[in-house]
Amino acid sequence: MYSFEIREIPGKGRAMISTKPFAVGETIFEEEPFVSRQFSWNAAYGYAACDHCMRPLETVTENVRRLANNKALVVPLIEHDPTKPWLQQFTKCERCKVRYCSEDCRIEALNKYHRVACLGAFHSDDTHPINVLNEIWKKMHYPPETGTIMLIVRLMAMYKQSNNKQQFLESLQSFQSVIVNAEKQIYHKMLGANFEQQMEQLFLAFCRSFADEEFAAFTTADAFKALMGMIGTNSQGIATSTLAEWVKKVSDLPLPEEDKVKLDEYIDDIYNKVGEFAGEFLNTEGAGLYLLQSKINHSCMPNAQSTFPYSNDIVVLKAVAPIQTGEEICISYLDECQLERSRHSRQKILKENYIFVCQCPKCQLQATDPDETSEDEEDDYEMDMDDDAEMSD
């Protein structure tokens, strides 16, 4: 039984309200995703992960060598490799060769969507409609990605395999997917004018991929926009990292001070080498839809945070501030750097990407601040706009 409830709050909509106090660091809930998928570019760049739960499928040595583009690198203390518990369990689909971290994941994927989603021998065929659709998406959304069309592909496979399609549709409808404000004509960033031509191309490729009559309800222009809006406004980023998990493990070891210093120097050196080649593109990343987690509203002063402590797609919500009974549980939709920006900048980002004007306590306290960005923030914003323009060319 959960220690919270979902309520409708007048003037605000749906909210998650605590029914007990939570201390800092306390787990509020854990949840498996309704659906999850690795980002398309992550997969293309060889970030090996379980096709079902996104658990890393490369040892820490393999991970470091790939990220640093150096096959000679040696990693110490490999007995603390985080992949060790499942190294002997790796398996794959014999038809399409996608890999899983365990037989349990393979069977769960097969029962949930993979009987339909499996491309068999066409997995690497560039002319297959699904692969064409994915390539169009990749050309629209260069790294860093914030979503993937393959999440919708997986949803379509889940729908076709579902024994209770009405229940499946009701679950989909439970995600907030309003993408257009009829009065103000606020469009989700993914559906803006800059992407009009590409979105039409993506829509046509989607229709070719799901031409069966069974998918007719999803292959109208409005239905496709709703799906894209749902992914854009509800998907939760997921990141797993063999290197990061190994660093956590070895950093906690009770080593002599001299060895501790050497280890710290090694870790710094490895991150420098990795940074030179992979930059910030370090983690295996993807996105998921979570029935509970998606019900949590944003605050620029969050009292909870979504974490992924199991090196897979299970989200664990933890309190980052004391939460009282009857208090709303909120997370931040912005990253740490964005949270430090001005009220005007934060609200601009939230309005463009999540289609709402934030009225959290922090925004209300700063309500009298000037509605303008600082010079540095304006430069950042212009760079973002330039990147969007380049992607739309």
* Cβ-Cβ contacts under 8 Å for 200 (sequence gap 6 or more): none
The domain segmentation of the chain, as residue ranges, is: 79-237
By the 8 A CB rule, do 286 and 36 touch? yes
- The pLDDT of residue 178: 44
pLDDT for residue 131 is more than 90: yes
The answer to whether the peptide bond before residue 76 is cis (omega within 30 degrees of 0) is no
Residue ranges of alpha helices (H) inside 23-59 are 40-44
pLDDT for residue 181 is more than 50: no
First to last CA, the chain: 51
- Measured distance CA(114)–CA(94) in Å, rounded: 12
- The pLDDT of residue 380: 52
- The pLDDT of residue 198: 80
- Measured distance CA(199)–CA(187) in Å, rounded: 13
Cα 41 to Cα 279, 304, 361, distances in angstroms? 15, 30, 37
- Measured distance CA(144)–CA(54) in Å, rounded: 17
pLDDT for residue 12 is more than 90: no
Q: Please report the beta strands in the chain, taking only residues with DSSP state E, as ranges in sequence order.
A: 4-9, 13-18, 27-31, 35-38, 91-92, 99-100, 180-181, 186-187, 236-240, 284-289, 297-298, 304-307, 315-319, 330-331
Band (372; pLDDT cuts 50, 70, 90): low
* Cβ-Cβ contacts under 8 Å for 234 (sequence gap 6 or more): 175, 176, 177, 289, 294
By the 8 A CB rule, do 188 and 233 touch? yes
Summarize the confidence of residues 170-183 as an average pLDDT: 63
pLDDT in tens, 14-40: 899 999 999 999 999 999 999 999 999
Summarize the confidence of residues 141-145 as an average pLDDT: 80
pLDDT for residue 351 is more than 60: yes
- Provide the token pair at 222: 């409005």
- Measured distance CA(391)–CA(152) in Å, rounded: 21
Give pairs for 256-265: CB < 8 Å, separation 24+: 263/76, 263/77
DSSP 250-292: HHTS---HHHHHHHHHHHHHHHHHHHHHHTT--SEEEEEE-TT
Q: Which of 59, 89, 76, 115 is nearest to 260 (CA)?
A: 76
- Provide the token pair at 52: 């079902």
- Provide the token pair at 389: 């323009």
Summarize the confidence of residues 128-137 as an average pLDDT: 95
Summarize the confidence of residues 121-145 as an average pLDDT: 90
Please state the pTM of the whole predicted model. Answer: 0.86
Band (140; pLDDT cuts 50, 70, 90): confident
Strands 330-331, 297-298: pairing is: parallel
Band (247; pLDDT cuts 50, 70, 90): very high
- Measured distance CA(237)–CA(65) in Å, rounded: 25
Query: pLDDT exceeding 90 applies to what percent of the chain?
Result: 64
- Measured distance CA(217)–CA(53) in Å, rounded: 28
Band (393; pLDDT cuts 50, 70, 90): very low
- Measured distance CA(151)–CA(392) in Å, rounded: 22
Band (389; pLDDT cuts 50, 70, 90): very low
Residues belonging to the chain: 393
Angle at 202 between CA 121 and CA 280, to 5 degrees: 80
Band (383; pLDDT cuts 50, 70, 90): very low
